[in-house]
């Protein structure tokens, strides 16, 4: 005998949720009281609603960026088959990483480890989205609406700003900053996973080609 309609719906919802959480490797970013100054700076970094807009010094810079975009799109294809979605993710990661003074390849590695590029991933601890941001950050430096953490651009911006914040706290020590990001400071597993994934996303321009665009505004 089949399940009643409402029971079947409930089972389906549980299965979907299980699928989301299974792909999320996040720990639990720890809530830490922030000074008014730090909150103001982080809130300002989050607040801009402008779409990603990379600026180019010249045509060669633009060409280098497009070559990077094409190469990363091929690498991401197995995880995200939709070209337009891949392009949107990559453009946003590039823009937000550069804006925060981070390597886009580092953020791609972090996203791979955290959510495997699943927009609606939810960890057992409640972290959300591509970069697995804990909801308390929406109250600390956002507008209080944690639902927006499932928005791709909002989520990636939060992730970049938070990692930059942890890097600043740790004096540029990436290993410790990643530990803070994952809520596992002092443990090796998570930082090592992200650092290994980072290497897989590094991009070497073809000989004689210019470096990719350097600025985000």
Contact assessment for residue 184 and residue 175, using Cβ atoms and an 8 Å cutoff = no
Count how many domains the chain has: 1
- Choose among 65, 125, 94, 15: nearest CA to 133: 125
Contact assessment for residue 113 and residue 194, using Cβ atoms and an 8 Å cutoff = yes
Containing structural domain, residue 91: 5-216
pLDDT at 205: 80
Q: Cβ–Cβ contacts within 10 Å for residue 67, how many?
A: 16
pLDDT at 91: 95
Written as tens digits, the pLDDT of the chain (217 aa) is 344 444 444 433 433 344 444 445 556 788 888 888 888 989 998 887 666 778 888 999 999 999 999 999 999 999 999 999 999 999 999 999 999 999 999 999 999 999 999 999 999 999 999 999 999 999 999 999 999 999 999 999 999 999 999 999 999 999 999 999 999 999 999 999 999 999 999 998 876 655 555 445 4
Contact assessment for residue 98 and residue 178, using Cβ atoms and an 8 Å cutoff = no
- Long-range own/partner contacts, residues 45-50 (CB < 8 A, 24 or more apart): 45/100, 45/141, 45/157, 45/161, 45/164, 46/141, 46/142, 46/157, 46/158, 46/161
**Using CB atoms within 10 A of its CB, is residue 11 exposed (0-12), middle (13-18) or buried (19+)?**
exposed
The CATH number of residue 199's host domain is 1.10.530.10
């Amino acid at each position: 005998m089949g399940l009643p309609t409402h029971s079947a719906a409930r089972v389906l919802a549980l299965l979907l949720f299980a699928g989301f959480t299974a792909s999320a490797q996040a720990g639990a970013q720890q809530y830490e009281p922030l000074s008014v100054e730090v909150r103001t700076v982080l809130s300002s970094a989050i607040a801009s609603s402008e779409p990603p807009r990379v600026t180019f010094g010249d045509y060669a810079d633009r060409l280098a960026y497009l070559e990077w975009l094409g190469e990363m799109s091929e690498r991401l294809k197995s995880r995200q088959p939709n070209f337009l979605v891949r392009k949107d993710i990559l453009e946003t990661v590039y823009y937000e990483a550069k804006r925060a003074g981070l390597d886009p390849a580092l953020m791609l590695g972090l996203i791979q480890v955290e959510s495997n590029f699943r927009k609606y991933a939810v960890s057992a601890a409640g972290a959300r989205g591509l970069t697995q941001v804990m909801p308390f950050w929406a109250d600390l430096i956002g507008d209080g609406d944690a639902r927006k953490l499932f928005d791709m651009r909002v989520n990636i911006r939060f992730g970049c700003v938070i990692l930059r914040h942890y890097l600043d706290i740790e004096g540029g020590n990436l290993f410790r900053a990643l530990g803070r990001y994952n809520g596992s400071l002092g443990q090796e597993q998570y930082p090592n996973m992200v650092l290994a994934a980072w290497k897989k996303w590094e991009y070497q321009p073809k000989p004689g080609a210019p470096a990719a665009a350097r600025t985000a505004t």
